[in-house]
């Protein structure tokens, strides 16, 4: 009996990137066994049982011989159930139950049910991108996730329902086209089901700060007593940001797909808003685990990461956020491999003004100086250094609750867009896109400050309330306020507003001495 | 160090022995104090009676230790901690303390002895108040202490958290004299979070205490310390005090000694101001600023030339109105935010007031009028 060998192409997900994997199936005489080798994890080894049942239940024959399946390259760790279909097809091809001719043109990705049904797996979009990059003509995926794969241009997607369907396709059948995505309303594309500012009453000051944060890409800290509306305000930031471009939406969808989050209409329509609980681990926040999965910071890529109760997050978690805030990506090193998770997000943090939460509100604060000092310490440090704006949120007055709404999100977004365009024009030659990314050197090169504004800054600096970093932060925010006001030179008013919105780095330092 | 050494030498054996005994009995006094809730007469007892009343089962052992006490050992301990000591028998002992029925036998001082002597020649004002003070209280204490110190007065307080510390900080800002009276040995920074303040007061003023170096504070030590504050100052100003505040004890002791008692009023609705407001209702002098305090002291008007606040010169009418709102208690930017159109103006206005030093930012995004 001749030795028969079949090769099937599929992909493993490494972080959020696809890695080509070849499934080789070798069938030879001997005691009937079925072994899978090639650094496969438990889910892959369990594939043997699913593959056996799926083949038999689809009306094929499971060869009673010595079967060895190898997942190559052997050094790459393979996880998850996405190799089921490729293993089954390899077996069918090696035992002559389907044609092997087309196997070098199609990648096959998906999990099998015991009945032979093809199921969708996480990371289909990444796999489709891998198929395009690998120069493959097409990709076979489950019908339910085919819409996602079809987002990638240049790859033919076969939306197949079961193992028989794959066999039919390989035997020369017609590729079933993916279902058309449900239509997205064109006018609102990019900001679908976002919450609108028109629902907000009162809160003029925080809304003003949100607009500045959106326009300049600044990170924002909301401070206020419980129930004052911090979360409600933060949730409205995504709708103020410019709509997702198609490239951005693809990136978001790819990361979400790997994490198992699906979007109606396959493509992410709105900027993500992630609000992890403060008990989250560092790995949960920035990604990690075994196998490394994207964390909340990556799921918030191109969107908003909201940290409520900032002072309650563990210090390691907050420290871990420094890299993504700084670099816009997270690098996780495991053994010899380094995984990159993109994570460029707008950070909105919220905190109570003191441990009991009522300092500065109508109710009396019950905190002692010790507790306040500890609260301040927990809020200080390197993360706070990356937050340009601090705004106090108070409960709106009764009068404000019945007042007519102020501008809608769309109106604010227009101003934000205009301000962003001014920034793009200004930074055409610089390696940055927004004012928030201005460092000391770029500030000097790109920000013109009027004489009165310069005097106010100097005065604030010399009075001791402003550190060197604080000075730069104020200038960055002032630049954004000027952009919103369509001024090329930063004016006195811009600097004054920025001063009032600066984080309180060392207020009360003297009294606390 | 040499000045300290001479002063240590001046404290006599008998007074040092009594001082040692009080420290030795500190734990016993604590028990008695807890049981009877403040028997203030204790510290006026003579030494034999103290041992007898408090020694309990260890009476005889303590009496023997008392006889064997080595004053030179205590002098060496003082010298090692750079602490000066002056006793009741010595001319350097602060005269105002002699008016106390239970005057400490020895006053220990860390810092610069000549500054203590200088403070005793000047007018002295005590500023006391709540540890959990509001931003308003802290700002008032700080501003009042700064102005009084700048007017040449010595500011006396207890270096506790809150108002006390703010008063010392203010006095240091006014580049004046400040005395801290501690409830423990003078070389110990208590509370520990105020060790930087302790060091600064030691540098430019003096930290004094009734208890010898190395004695940790106990609860009875705080009211005992308060009587020294009350005695040292001619005027005691209560800044913020709840209804059962220790600052009211200080005020009562000051009144008993015939010293002036004054208070800074607070909101009628604020529990933190209840004690201070009650004092005013009972006839304490109402303090609005340094001039009110200076008027309580002889020869004051000469020292307090009335002049317009330079920070307010040429202030825009809008800013005056905004400052008025902040002073009236609409103290967060959010509370000031009337409508969307004015948010920019309010933010810019607050920043301008802050730059001029008229308001200060405190916890919770509050703006406090700077005193």
Q: At what angle do helices B274-281 and B246-256 cross, to 10 degrees?
A: 20
- A355/A271 same-domain check: yes
Domain range for residue A305?
A: 197-409
**Chain B CB contacts of A361 below 8 Å:** 364
Amino acid B301: pLDDT: 52
* Of A289, A260, A291, the residue nearest A119 (C-alpha): A260
Q: Are the beta carbons of A392 and B333 separated by less than 8 Å?
A: yes
Contact A20, A130 (CB under 8 A): yes
Tokens of B371: 């005193």
Contact A480, A460 (CB under 8 A): no
User: Please, which pLDDT band fits residue A363 given cuts at 50, 70 and 90?
Assistant: low
CATH number for the domain including A95?
3.30.230.10
What is the DSSP pairing of strand A17-28 with strand A4-14? Answer: antiparallel
Count Cα neighbours of B208 within 13 Å in the Cβ-side half-sphere.
Answer: 31
Looking at CA atoms only, how far is residue A42 from chain B in angstroms?
52
**For residues A253, A258, A259 and A262, what is the CA-based torsion angle, rounded to 10 degrees?**
40
Write the residue in A368, A500, A513 that is nearest to B132 by C-beta: A368
Whether A508 has a pLDDT exceeding 50, the answer reads no
**Chain B CB contacts of A508 below 8 Å:** 138, 362-363
For the CA atoms of chain B, what is the radius of gyration? 23
Contacts of residue A70, Cβ cutoff 8 Å, sequence gap at least 6: A23, A24, A25, A26, A36, A37, A38
- A203/A339 same-domain check: yes
* Of B7, B41, B295, B256, the residue nearest B151 (C-alpha): B295
- A95/A159 same-domain check: yes
Q: Are the beta carbons of B334 and A208 separated by less than 8 Å?
A: no
Whether A189 has a pLDDT exceeding 70, the answer reads no
Choose the mutation target among B164, B170, B334, B360 for the interface with A, i.e. most A CBs under 10 Å: B334
| Chain center to CA of A140 | 26
Boundary (domain end) residue, out of A170, A189, A215 = A170
**Chain A CB contacts of B165 below 8 Å:** 511, 513
- A347/A215 same-domain check: yes
- A368/A456 same-domain check: no
- A153/A291 same-domain check: no
Choose the mutation target among A220, A360, A458 for the interface with B, i.e. most B CBs under 10 Å: A360
Q: Could you tell me the CA-to-CA distances from A459 to A120, A172, A471 in Å, in that order?
A: 62, 79, 11
Write the residue in A508, A510, A513 that is nearest to B363 by C-beta: A508
**Chain A CB contacts of B173 below 8 Å:** 510
| Beta carbon pairs, A and B, within 8 Å | 127
Mean pLDDT of A282-287: 91
Amino acid B31: pLDDT: 85
Amino acid A507: pLDDT: 44
- A123/A258 same-domain check: no
**pLDDT, tens only, A289-332:** 877 889 999 999 999 999 998 888 888 888 889 889 888 889 88
Tokens of A174: 């017609």
**pLDDT, tens only, A452-505:** 999 988 888 887 667 788 888 899 999 999 999 999 999 999 999 998 888 765
Choose the mutation target among A369, A391, A465 for the interface with B, i.e. most B CBs under 10 Å: A369
Amino acid A193: pLDDT: 52
Q: Are the beta carbons of B332 and A501 separated by less than 8 Å?
A: no
Mean pLDDT of A267-285: 91
Whether A370 has a pLDDT exceeding 80, the answer reads no
Amino acid B206: pLDDT: 92
Q: Could you tell me the CA-to-CA distances from A506 to A313, A388, B85, B165 in Å, in that order?
A: 22, 15, 38, 17
d(CA A62, CA A51): 9
User: Please, which pLDDT band fits residue A511 given cuts at 50, 70 and 90?
Assistant: very low
Q: Could you tell me the CA-to-CA distances from B261 to A302, A339, B92, B249, B285 in Å, in that order?
A: 63, 70, 26, 11, 6
d(CA A129, CA A154): 9
Nearest chain A alpha carbon to B355:
A460
Residue A5, strand partner residues: A26
What is the DSSP pairing of strand B359-362 with strand B366-369? Answer: antiparallel
Residue A422 lies in a domain: no
* Of A108, A99, A183, A181, the residue nearest A142 (C-alpha): A108
Contact A493, B348 (CB under 8 A): yes
**Chain A CB contacts of B350 below 8 Å:** 500
Residue A415 lies in a domain: no
How many domains does chain A divide into?
A: 3
- A476/A391 same-domain check: no
Q: Are the beta carbons of A511 and B337 separated by less than 8 Å?
A: no
Q: Are the beta carbons of B352 and A496 separated by less than 8 Å?
A: yes
Contact B236, B226 (CB under 8 A): no
What is the DSSP pairing of strand B235-238 with strand B260-263? Answer: parallel
* Of A101, A179, A175, the residue nearest A139 (C-alpha): A175
Determine phi and psi for B208, rounding to 5 degrees: -120, 160
- A135/A204 same-domain check: no
d(CA B145, CA B152): 11
Amino acid A291: pLDDT: 78
Q: H or E stretch including B369?
A: strand B366-369
Task: Give the lowest-confidence range in A262-271, A437-446, A469-478, B5-14.
Answer: B5-14
- A206/A83 same-domain check: no
Write the residue in A394, A493, A508 that is nearest to B332 by C-beta: A394
Other beta carbons less than 10 A from residue A377's beta carbon: 10
Q: H or E stretch including A512?
A: none
In the numeric block, the tokens 């969107």 are attached to A303
Residue A420 lies in a domain: no
DSSP state string for B289-307: SHHHHHHTSTT-GGG----
d(CA B201, CA B223): 22
What percent of the residues of chain B are helix, what percent strand, and what percent coil, each to the nearest 5? Answer: 55, 15, 30
Write the residue in B165, B332, B343 that is nearest to A208 by C-beta: B343
User: Please, which pLDDT band fits residue A186 given cuts at 50, 70 and 90?
Assistant: very low
DSSP class of residue A277? -
| DSSP 3-state of B84 | strand
Residue A433 lies in a domain: no
Determine phi and psi for B151, rounding to 5 degrees: -80, 0
Residue A277 lies in a domain: yes
Mean pLDDT of A424-436: 87
Count Cα neighbours of B262 within 13 Å in the Cβ-side half-sphere.
Answer: 25
Contact B79, B9 (CB under 8 A): no
Residue A386 lies in a domain: yes
* Of B180, B165, B341, B348, the residue nearest B240 (C-alpha): B165
- A210/A274 same-domain check: yes
Looking at CA atoms only, how far is residue A477 from chain B in angstroms?
13
Residue A253 lies in a domain: yes
Q: H or E stretch including A445?
A: helix A440-446
Nearest chain B alpha carbon to A390:
B365
Residue B86, strand partner residues: B107
Nearest chain A alpha carbon to B130:
A368
Residue A418 lies in a domain: no
* ipTM of the prediction: 0.74
Amino acid B210: pLDDT: 93
* Of A328, A234, A228, the residue nearest A273 (C-alpha): A234
Mean pLDDT of A61-88: 90
| DSSP 3-state of B249 | helix
Write the residue in A207, A365, A511 that is nearest to B138 by C-beta: A511
Q: Could you tell me the CA-to-CA distances from A59 to A6, A55, A63, A229, A429 in Å, in that order?
A: 20, 7, 13, 60, 63
pLDDT above 90 as % of chain A: 38
Q: Are the beta carbons of A390 and B365 separated by less than 8 Å?
A: yes
Q: Are the beta carbons of A207 and B340 separated by less than 8 Å?
A: yes
* Of B106, B107, B102, the residue nearest B49 (C-alpha): B102
d(CA B92, CA B109): 12
Q: Are the beta carbons of B357 and A504 separated by less than 8 Å?
A: no
CATH number for the domain including A350?
3.40.50.300
The parts of chain B modelled with pLDDT lower than 50 are: 1-2, 4-5, 305
Whether A362 has a pLDDT exceeding 70, the answer reads no
Nearest chain A alpha carbon to B349:
A496
**Chain B CB contacts of A363 below 8 Å:** none
Q: Are the beta carbons of A511 and B343 separated by less than 8 Å?
A: no
- A304/A398 same-domain check: yes
CATH number for the domain including A467?
1.10.8.60
Tokens of A96: 């002559």
Q: Are the beta carbons of B347 and A365 separated by less than 8 Å?
A: no
């Amino acid at each position: 009996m001749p030795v028969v060998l079949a090769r099937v192409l599929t992909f493993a997900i490494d972080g959020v990137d696809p890695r080509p994997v070849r499934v080789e199936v070798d069938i030879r005489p001997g005691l009937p066994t079925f072994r899978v080798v090639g650094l496969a994890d438990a889910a892959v080894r369990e594939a043997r049982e699913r593959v056996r049942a799926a083949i038999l239940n689809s009306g094929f024959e499971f060869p009673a011989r010595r079967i060895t399946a190898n997942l190559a390259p052997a050094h790459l760790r393979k996880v998850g159930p996405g190799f089921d279909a490729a293993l089954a097809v390899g077996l069918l091809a090696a035992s002559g139950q389907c044609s092997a001719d087309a196997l070098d043109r199609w990648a096959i990705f998906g999990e099998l049910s015991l009945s032979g049904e093809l199921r969708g797996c996480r990371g289909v979009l990444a796999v489709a991108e891998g198929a395009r990059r690998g120069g493959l003509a097409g990709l076979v995926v489950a019908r339910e996730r085919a819409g996602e794969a079809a987002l990638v241009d240049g790859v033919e997607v076969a939306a197949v329902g079961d193992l028989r369907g794959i066999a039919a396709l390989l035997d020369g059948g017609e590729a079933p086209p993916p279902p058309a995505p449900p239509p997205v309303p064109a006018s609102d594309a990019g900001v679908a089901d976002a919450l609108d500012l028109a629902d907000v009453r009162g809160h003029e000051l925080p809304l003003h700060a949100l607009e500045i944060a959106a326009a300049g890409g600044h990170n924002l800290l909301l401070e206020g007593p419980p129930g004052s509306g911090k979360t409600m305000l933060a949730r409205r930031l995504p709708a103020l940001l410019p709509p997702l471009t198609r490239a951005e939406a693809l990136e978001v969808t790819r990361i979400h797909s790997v994490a198992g989050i699906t979007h109606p209409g396959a493509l992410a329509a709105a900027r993500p808003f992630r609000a992890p609980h403060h008990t989250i681990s560092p790995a949960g926040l920035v990604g990690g685990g075994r196998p490394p999965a994207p964390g909340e910071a990556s799921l918030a890529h191109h969107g908003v990461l909201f940290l409520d109760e900032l002072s309650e997050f563990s210090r390691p978690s907050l420290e871990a956020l420094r890299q993504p805030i700084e670099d816009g990506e997270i690098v996780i090193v495991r053994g010899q491999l380094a995984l990159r998770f993109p994570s460029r997000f707008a950070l909105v943090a919220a905190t109570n003004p003191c441990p009991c939460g009522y300092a500065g509100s109508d109710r009396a604060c019950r905190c002692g100086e010790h507790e306040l000092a500890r609260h301040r310490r927990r809020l200080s440090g390197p993360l706070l250094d990356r937050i340009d704006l601090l705004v106090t949120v108070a409960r709106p007055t009764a009068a404000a609750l019945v007042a007519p709404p102020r501008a809608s999100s769309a109106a604010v977004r227009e101003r934000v867009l205009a301000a962003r365009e001014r920034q793009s024009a200004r930074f055409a030659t610089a390696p940055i896109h927004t004012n928030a990314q201005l460092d000391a050197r770029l500030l000097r090169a790109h920000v013109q400050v009027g004489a009165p504004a310069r005097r106010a800054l100097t005065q604030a600096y010399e009075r001791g309330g402003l550190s060197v970093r604080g000075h730069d932060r104020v200038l960055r925010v002032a630049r954004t306020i000027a952009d919103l006001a369509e001024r090329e030179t930063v004016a006195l008013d811009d600097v004054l507003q920025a001063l009032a919105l600066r984080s309180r780095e060392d207020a009360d330092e003297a009294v606390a001495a | 160090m040499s000045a300290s050494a001479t002063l240590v030498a001046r404290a006599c054996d008998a007074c040092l022995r009594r001082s040692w005994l009080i420290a030795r009995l500190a734990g016993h006094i604590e028990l008695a104090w807890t049981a009877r809730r403040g028997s203030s007469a204790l510290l006026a007892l003579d030494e034999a009676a103290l041992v007898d009343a408090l020694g309990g089962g260890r009476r005889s052992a303590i009496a023997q230790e008392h006889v064997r006490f080595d004053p030179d050992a205590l002098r060496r301990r003082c010298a090692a901690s750079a602490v000066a000591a002056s006793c009741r028998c010595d001319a350097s002992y602060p005269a105002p303390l002699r008016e106390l029925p239970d005057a400490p036998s020895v006053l220990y001082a860390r810092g610069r002895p000549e500054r203590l002597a200088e403070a005793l020649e000047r007018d002295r004002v005590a500023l006391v108040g709540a540890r959990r003070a509001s931003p308003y209280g802290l700002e008032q204490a700080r501003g009042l202490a700064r102005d009084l110190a700048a007017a040449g007065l010595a500011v006396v307080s207890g270096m506790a958290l809150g108002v006390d510390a703010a008063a010392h900080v203010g006095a240091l800002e006014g580049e004046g004299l400040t005395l801290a009276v501690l409830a423990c040995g003078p070389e110990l920074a208590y509370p520990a979070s105020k060790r930087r303040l302790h060091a600064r007061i030691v540098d430019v003023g003096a930290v004094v205490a009734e208890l010898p170096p190395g004695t940790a504070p106990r609860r009875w030590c705080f009211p005992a310390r308060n009587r020294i504050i009350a005695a040292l100052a001619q005027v005691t100003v209560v800044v913020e005090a709840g209804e059962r505040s220790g600052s009211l004890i200080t005020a009562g002791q000051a009144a008993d000694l015939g010293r002036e008692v004054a208070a800074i009023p607070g909101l009628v609705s604020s529990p933190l101001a209840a004690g201070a407001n009650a004092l005013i209702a009972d006839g304490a002098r109402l303090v609005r600023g340094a001039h009110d305090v200076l008027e309580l002291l002889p020869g004051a008007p000469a020292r307090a030339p009335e002049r317009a606040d330079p920070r307010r010169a040429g202030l825009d009418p809008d800013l005056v109105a905004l400052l008025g709102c902040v002073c009236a208690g609409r103290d967060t930017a959010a509370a000031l935010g009337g409508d969307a159109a004015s948010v920019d103006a309010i933010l810019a206005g607050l920043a301008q007031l802050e730059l001029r030093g008229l308001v200060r930012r405190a916890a919770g995004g509050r703006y406090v009028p700077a005193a």
